[in-house]
Structure 1
Amino acid sequence: MLNKNLIGFSDKEEYLPKDFDEFNSIIRLRQMFLNLSNNILHSYCHFSKYEQKKLSSLSLQDAFIYKIKSMSPISYIKTHKYKNRSFKLCIKSTKIINNYLNANNKNSIVISNNHLLPLAKLISLCFTNNKMQVLIDKHLLFHEFVLKKIKKLHADKTVIDLGNAICIKTKDFVGLKIYTSWKDIIVNKPNIQDELESAIKSIKKGEYYQIYLAYPKNNDFKKQIPIYVDELKNKEYQIKAIPYSLRSIIKN
């Protein structure tokens, strides 16, 4: 059974979150995944804004097949044509790319150097247990999205990725800590206990007194929710659940 926190695709089967905010169609949900995957795969795979919009009308499997093809060399080189001594063969990427070409009935041979390493990494990512799939933890995708936005918004401050949280600091400011989690928040029954416990521990240790719990904005969760904790009543603190919009993905 697939982990409910993983989103993406396995062969033709797509695993995407249910409709929320303005992501109310399969096309927009695919566009969202291609955009968010950039933050994880950026070192070797990047879907441009044009590609995100264009490829969202295809299945996610076809979108990644398109990307592999677009990154492949236009003409395949043969060893006897390569006399440049600066060319250094990368055996690993050569094997990966040729195995992919052979599996797809391409009668070509690629002799690869490090320039094609991103392509080899993408092919390796896309194939697991003889099937094509890309599945990424949704909490990681949301965390990286929020981190990127915060770094851009607070370029004049120190932004630290703590793994399970994000910290914003300045010389004169103790710091703001942000816990991120991709949950479908229902205002009357918010499922935030795990993040709240981490926030309480952090405040008790005296590390931070201002903490935000960030979740994707949805049709029910549109405004900040102040959170009051009895066991912290004698401490100075601020905890808020914050709706974080992903709309910039489809509006740019």
Structure 2
Amino acid sequence: IRMFVSPRRVRKCHFLQICATCFILCLMIFWVPFDNHIVSHMKSYSYRYLINSYHFVNDSLSISRDNPNRVSSYQYLINHREKCQQQDVLLLLFVKTSPENRHRRDAIRQTWGNEKYVRSQLNANIKTLFALGRPTDHLQKTQRQRELELEDQKYQDLIQQDFLDTFHNLTLKLLLQFSWVNAYCPHARFIMSADDDIFIHMPNLVAYLQSLTQMGAQDLWIGRVHRGSPPVRDKSSKYYVSYEMYQWPSYPDYT
């Protein structure tokens, strides 16, 4: 008895074999980092309830009252204490920026960060400020700083402290914002921290904040909640966190 096999069926079998082989090879190559990632998240989530414990956070992760003053006591190189004095400010909008990102700041000034536009078209008073540190380019830092001073003379919207503007100093930049708000604009109804590489739909944002004001919202914090997130231990990642910096397998829930 002769048996005939369709050429199409043979090609289909070969194709499935090739696909299966490729899948197995990919699994072998990527399984170790993938497996480590899964284990890391499972381990971190198992610690979540301990990390979120009120007493644990206060005993292990809090700092003394003197330390906040130390880390936020960098000298102001550029400041505008009067920015929102004696004004009813709906939103104080802080934009994290770097000294070299002049084109981004200009784009924001002309679009969603334009205070005059929001006041005239949306009937709301907002204040837009750019938070930054010192230039990191040692060869051109004097020239770059002079350019920042000239820029600020024109726009009056830079807030600069005397720390190096690096990725790992983003925490200092955030502390700058909290410290400045507490000292010079505590009456602002809402505070927002943004980046200079995003776009904000101001009509939607203003309408939302005005509705919250009418509702009498207080002690409100808005953002995506990260639950049981593990620190990144991959030394090749820009987000790498060493055990010396943070020893626990999970962060407290945060936004």
TM-score tier (shorter): under 0.3
Structure with a larger share of its residues in helix: 2
- TM-score relative to the length of structure 1: 0.24
State the structure with bigger RCO (CA 8 A, min sep 6), 1 or 2. 2
Instruction: State TM-score, norm by structure 2.
Output: 0.24
